[in-house]
Amino acid sequence: MTATIEAQTPPRTYPTQAHRPRRNRANVWLTLLLVLASVFTIVPFVAVLVLAVSPESAPTIPRQLPDDVTLDNLTAVLSASSFLRWTLNSVLCSVVSVVIILLTAAMAGYAFARKRFPGSTALMWSFLATLMVPIQATLIPMFVLVSRLDGVNTFWGLIVPTLANSQAVFLMRQFIRELPDELFDAAKIDGAGEWTVFWRLVLPLTKPVLATLGIFVFLWHWNDFLWPLVIAQTDEMRTLTVGLSTLNAESVARARIMASAAISVVPCLIIFGVLQRYLVNSVATTGLKG
Amino acid sequence: MRGQLTFVAVAALTLAACGGSDGESTDGGGSVTVWMYPVVPDQDASIEFWDQVETDFETGHDDIDLTIELLPWEGRDEKIATAIASGEGPDLVLLTPDQTLQYQSTGGLKPMGAAVEENRDAFLPNALDSVTFDDELYGVPIYHTSTTTVYNTEVLEAAGISEVPTTWDDVLAAAPKLAANGVAAMDYSGSPEMTLNLSFYPLLWQAGGTVFTDDGSDVAFDGPEGHAALQFLVDLQEVGGLPADAATKPNNVEGGPLGTGTAAMGYAVTAPEVEQMKAGVGAENVVVGEPLSGVEQVSFGMPGVLSLTSISEDEQAAMEVAAYIASPEVATALNDAAGTFPARTDVEPPTGDEMLTVFNDALQYANPGEVTPSARQVMSVLSSNIQAALQGSKSVEDALADAASEARDLIARGG
Amino acid sequence: MTVQRAAVQRASWRQRARDPGWGLLFVLPMLVLFVIFRFVPSLGAVGMSLTDYRLSGDFSFVGADNYVRLFEDDLFFHSLRVTLLYAAICVPLALVVALGTATLLHHVVRGQSVFRGLLFLPYVTSFVMAGIIWTWIYESDGLINGLLEKLGVGPVPFLTGNQAMVLASLAVVSVWKSFGYSMLILVAGLKNIPEDIVEAAKLDGAGPCSRFWRITIPLLRPVIFFVLVIETIAAFQVFDTIYVMTGGGPARASYGLVYMLYDQGFKFFDFGYAATVGVVLFLVVFLISLVQRYVLDREKT
């Protein structure tokens, strides 16, 4: 009766453990397929790395590692005078975006999934509909709007317009919808308030989705080029992607571009590596379905 | 933990909303912002150069605050469009003649004849003409590009060709011998993103033709000259004189046919590209020559101009800045740093490398491109049809006829 | 017992009465952001499509002229065909690859995080980078053709051949770059499938294939719907890879709708017409996702 919400949450199970008995044969084939798939995704990256450390005059089709591996391209990119500033801007933008979007999207997703209010379906679909308008069509109206609000060349102008993220909302809604009703009913019985239900029931239960979403939001913002380009009027406001492109003279060596690419990829890999383990802790909902 | 994160986020956002530099605003007199691009190839050198220009100018004009922002080539059109549309942007921006017309015709620029009043004659007449619309000048040329032919003497000699090909006939004659060695006689880039000013149009001009009629009201590339030019390419391709992927390849020298010794010559090559070629095949094997001749001897070369935007608030100051950057002192320094050429006759051409003299001489044959309101769309249409012709899916006649009819529709609609 | 049930019922009733208020409250932050930064600009774009908007800001209302012009424009229909063909190749491919890799990941225990990381790697690049890398791979003396040459097979014109070949090559690049996203979402979805249902099926003697089709897929339906919608939208809005790899060519073989939008707007400065293309593109995608919804996202019973 007075069981806390946490006690209601079922114990963690690891679904994969159940597969152990039949591991050997099937798993070998599956692992092999995974290796194949991984090779397919990796090879182009190896190419990027090879080109990034090639001297500028190397043929663009490297057949093997060039004899004169050079760090020149990488150092040229890293020693750009504003490199640190651009990176800080990108970090700030991406991290702030992740925090705000996770919170607001979870709230909105929860509302769409479990709350009935007038117009909720229409609203959900109109959120999704904005995804269907290509950004090239709304770029000018959006920029003019932000400019009227004095947001050009400011941090809020850089970040806030990109926070309205339909995919995040939709994703949260789809997952929260699948959470069993019993959990929420039990919480009601316990007299839990609305915010408590959200904060201590929904959020913990959706951790894997939140972690996944966190990775994506970070990446989307880190790799964004068009909006940071038009919003920044001075060098100090540029993000890394925009800043790196200022290093490209009109006919820039492919090796140089690859070096830029290799460098800007590193933080994303770090973030993915850090957040990846949260994807492992799933909360299966066994034991409650009658 | 989440609570703490939220707090940090809110705090950061509040700080961020206040912070962030406002950039140079263009309201209030005496403040001018210029958007410049990496004309000077090396970024550090570029920053240094334009910083110096800023300092020198402000020393001489202490009532004007000048800021020169360096922007990337990428996303250039989006950036300028959003700036003009919203009213927040530069006073002066570096443009090509074609861009100048586009922005002028959509109301994005203001005339700036006053900036060159005193020494109009010092500028190359073609350069000024290319940015004069409705009898008003919309750009001040601050440099000029030049392209000409470049040859790989090593592969030419290996094929037993002792004299560099200087006319179309020469090229056609040399092609089979070079093809036997697996070398394309001439580099050609048919990628849709490539401007025809550097690929097809020079050939069209060399054939004695033009893209548009004199008054720009109709296209003229489907005349006999256009046929001759496209036929030249197709014939050349048939004897193995063009790179195999000529129809779709981009025009990078480094890593491309010119830079790896699989093409014997290029005909619309810039000075920095010649340097890349030297790095690729050895400086001793590279020779720069006069522009190629068909019926006429023509190459492409256009001015880079500073244009005054319609959102500029202090026109007087902006024009002073433009005049300063176009002045002989700055122009000379810019040409040195960027490898460009003078747009004025009272500026010494860059010396040093003998090759630069050749490029400078080629200026007299330079056609800055035909700038009309529908030039870009026509180029887009023609480009895809030329691709079709080079891929063999359309005959020369059909390609040009189709392109011409589509182009006429465009012009009729108002461009 | 009865008391408890009654209490639950009363609580539910009170809950339902409170729902609208709380629902709106929770949605509010996102809603505000959306209204200001998505709805308003979208309406702006629609507005632009009804004018002959010029950069300088002055424009005149031209009503449906742009739309009439669009529906008489051969180039529009060409780019629509290109986009539809591209989506028809890209979306199923993306779904199959994402579902396949997600399933593999779900069932392989050892080194799962390593594989997951490796498979996700391409997503970390930008479309422009992916385009540059794959242009090299596809080149007539690039990675693939270089290998094929060793096997004595002629060079395959990935980006320079006929339209189907070009679009398929481009689709592969898109899928390579972005399948990690759908894959991770499907992995999370697979993890949420209750283990006891799977166990029960095994006890009933259902083999792996049967389990997959009759339990996994149906239970994954909401997630699959999400992935399908996202992939469709992405396919219809493809631009960056095409811009970098083929420039819409050869001979406009890969000239998609967003490419036309971009050309009209930022190259030819006809923003009103560009906005028109944008609006029509939106309508097409919207209709398609309604169909997808009808098929896949019916309310749970």
Q: What would the pLDDT profile of B240-282 be if each residue is shown by its tens digit?
A: 999 988 988 888 887 788 988 899 999 999 888 888 888 888 8
Question: In chain B, which residues touch C (CB < 8 A)?
Answer: 77-78, 81, 84-85, 87, 102-103, 105-108, 190-194, 244-245, 247-248, 310, 376-377, 380, 384-385, 387-388, 391, 393, 413, 415
- For residue range C201-249, list pLDDT tens digits in order: 888 877 777 778 888 888 888 888 888 988 999 999 999 888 888 888 7
What is the overall mean pLDDT for chain C? Answer: 85
Label the pairing between strands B303-309 and B140-144.
antiparallel
CATH superfamily to which B148-300+373-413 belongs:
Periplasmic binding protein-like II (3.40.190.10)
Asked if B47 is an interface residue toward chain A (Cβ–Cβ < 8 A), one would say yes
SS3 readout for C20-35: HHHHHHHHHHHHHHHH
| pLDDT exceeds cutoff 60 at B298 | yes
CB A244 within 8 A of CB A52: no
| pLDDT exceeds cutoff 60 at C117 | yes
Residue in the block written with tokens 């529908």: B374
Cβ–Cβ below 8 Å for A145 and C44: yes
CB B379 within 8 A of CB B191: no
CATH entry 3.40.190.10 includes domain B28-144+302-367: yes
| pLDDT exceeds cutoff 70 at C181 | yes
| Mean pLDDT to the nearest integer, B284-289 | 90
| pLDDT exceeds cutoff 60 at C94 | yes
| pLDDT exceeds cutoff 70 at A116 | yes
Cβ–Cβ below 8 Å for A233 and B272: no
Interatomic CA distance for residues A263 and A276, integer angstroms: 21
What is the overall mean pLDDT for chain B? Answer: 86
Say if B28-144+302-367 and B148-300+373-413 have the same CATH topology: yes
The band of B1, judged by pLDDT with boundaries at 50, 70 and 90, is very low
**pLDDT confidence of residue A170:** 86
Cβ–Cβ below 8 Å for A108 and C30: yes
- For residue range A200-258, list pLDDT tens digits in order: 888 888 887 888 888 889 989 998 888 999 999 888 899 988 888 887 765 566 677 77
| pLDDT exceeds cutoff 60 at A280 | no
CB B175 within 8 A of CB B389: no
Residue A191, sorted as left (phi over 0), alpha (psi -120 to 50) or beta, turns out to be left
**pLDDT confidence of residue B27:** 42
| Mean pLDDT to the nearest integer, A42-53 | 79
CB B366 within 8 A of CB B301: yes
| Mean pLDDT to the nearest integer, A151-168 | 92
The band of A289, judged by pLDDT with boundaries at 50, 70 and 90, is very low
**pLDDT confidence of residue C198:** 80
Label the pairing between strands B286-289 and B148-152.
antiparallel
Interatomic CA distance for residues A113 and C247, integer angstroms: 42
Cβ–Cβ below 8 Å for A229 and B72: yes
**pLDDT confidence of residue A235:** 87
Interatomic CA distance for residues B282 and C274, integer angstroms: 48
**pLDDT confidence of residue C245:** 86
Q: Quote the DSSP letter at residue B223.
A: S
What is the token pair recorded at B102? 């586009």
Distance from CA of A27 to the nearest CA of B (A): 39
Question: Domain boundaries in chain A?
Answer: 81-246
What is the token pair recorded at A168? 């995040």
| pLDDT exceeds cutoff 90 at A191 | no
CB B41 within 8 A of CB B271: no
**pLDDT confidence of residue B15:** 34
Q: What angle do CA A167, A112, A208 make, to 5 degrees?
A: 55
Please provide the size of chain B in residues: 415
List phi, psi (to 5°) of B165.
Answer: -65, 130
Candidates A31, A38, A284; nearest CB to C195: A284
Distance from CA of A70 to the nearest CA of C (A): 20
Specify burial of residue C63 (Cβ count, 10 A radius: 0-12, 13-18, 19+): exposed
**Which helix H or strand E contains B89, and what residues bound it?**
none
Interatomic CA distance for residues B302 and A269, integer angstroms: 44
Pairwise pLDDT comparison (C79 vs B86), residue with the higher score: C79
List phi, psi (to 5°) of B145.
Answer: -95, 160
Output the DSSP codes for B19-41: -S-------SSSEEEEEE---SS
Best residue of B50, B88, B249 to probe chain A, by most A CBs closer than 10 Å: B88
**pLDDT confidence of residue B398:** 94
| pLDDT exceeds cutoff 90 at B396 | yes
The band of C4, judged by pLDDT with boundaries at 50, 70 and 90, is low
**pLDDT confidence of residue A42:** 87
What is the token pair recorded at B181? 């060695």
**pLDDT confidence of residue A13:** 47
Asked if C151 is an interface residue toward chain A (Cβ–Cβ < 8 A), one would say no
Candidates B108, B247, B376; nearest CB to C267: B376
Query: In chain B, what residues touch A148 (CB-CB under 8 Å)?
Result: 86
Interatomic CA distance for residues B276 and B258, integer angstroms: 9
Percent of chain A exceeding pLDDT 70 equals 79
| Region of poorest pLDDT, from A229-238, B7-16, C3-12, C206-215 | B7-16
Chains that touch C (3 or more CB pairs under 8 A): A, B
Alpha carbon of residue A209 to chain centroid: 11
Highest mean pLDDT among A147-161, A248-262, B111-125, C214-228: A147-161
| Region of poorest pLDDT, from A140-154, A266-280, B126-140 | A266-280
Asked if B282 is an interface residue toward chain A (Cβ–Cβ < 8 A), one would say no
Candidates C8, C20, C41; nearest CB to A118: C20
Best residue of C65, C128, C149, C266 to probe chain B, by most B CBs closer than 10 Å: C266
| Mean pLDDT to the nearest integer, B46-52 | 92
**pLDDT confidence of residue C99:** 93
Domain covering C73-296: architecture: Orthogonal Bundle (1.10)
Please compute, for residue C237, the number of CA atoms within 13 A of its CA located in the half-sphere on the CB side: 21
Candidates C56, C250, C263; nearest CB to B248: C250
Cβ–Cβ below 8 Å for B393 and C58: no
| pLDDT exceeds cutoff 90 at C104 | no
| Mean pLDDT to the nearest integer, B160-166 | 90
Interatomic CA distance for residues B72 and A239, integer angstroms: 13
**pLDDT confidence of residue A68:** 66
**pLDDT confidence of residue A19:** 47
Q: Return the SS3 of B268.
A: strand
Output the DSSP codes for B344-407: BTTSPPP-SSHHHHHHHHHGGGEE-----TTHHHHHHHHHHHHHHHHHTSS-HHHHHHHHHHHH
Distance from CA of C163 to the nearest CA of A (A): 24
pTM of the model: 0.81
| Mean pLDDT to the nearest integer, B313-335 | 91
As a whole number of angstroms, the longest Cα–Cα distance in chain B is 79
Candidates A44, A140, A177; nearest CB to C222: A177
List phi, psi (to 5°) of B308.
Answer: -95, 125
**pLDDT confidence of residue B49:** 94
- For residue range C273-296, list pLDDT tens digits in order: 999 999 999 999 999 988 888 887
| Mean pLDDT to the nearest integer, B160-165 | 90
Q: Return the SS3 of B129.
A: helix
**pLDDT confidence of residue A56:** 62
| pLDDT exceeds cutoff 70 at B310 | yes
Pairwise pLDDT comparison (A45 vs C242), residue with the higher score: C242
Question: Domain boundaries in chain B?
Answer: 28-144+302-367, 148-300+373-413
What is the token pair recorded at A226? 């068009």
CB B268 within 8 A of CB B288: no
Neighbours of C224 (CB within 10 A): 22
Q: Which amino acid is at B142?
A: I
* CATH for A81-246, options being 3.30.70.3040, 1.10.3720.10, 1.20.970.10, 2.40.50.140: 1.10.3720.10
| Region of poorest pLDDT, from A34-48, B331-345, C207-221, C265-279 | C207-221
| pLDDT exceeds cutoff 70 at B354 | yes
Neighbours of A75 (CB within 10 A): 11
| Mean pLDDT to the nearest integer, A39-63 | 72
Distance from CA of A173 to the nearest CA of C (A): 10
Residue C152, sorted as left (phi over 0), alpha (psi -120 to 50) or beta, turns out to be left
Q: What angle do CA A96, A98, A102 make, to 5 degrees?
A: 125
| pLDDT exceeds cutoff 70 at B2 | no
Q: Return the SS3 of B148.
A: strand
Candidates A108, A160, A280; nearest CB to C26: A108
Label the pairing between strands B366-367 and B148-152.
unpaired
The band of B26, judged by pLDDT with boundaries at 50, 70 and 90, is very low
CB C269 within 8 A of CB C53: no
Q: Classify each residue of A85-123 as buried b or exposed e, where b means 16 or more C-beta atoms within 10 Å of its C-beta.
A: bbbebbbbbbbbbbbbbbbbbbbbbbbbbbbebeebeeb
CB B374 within 8 A of CB B410: yes
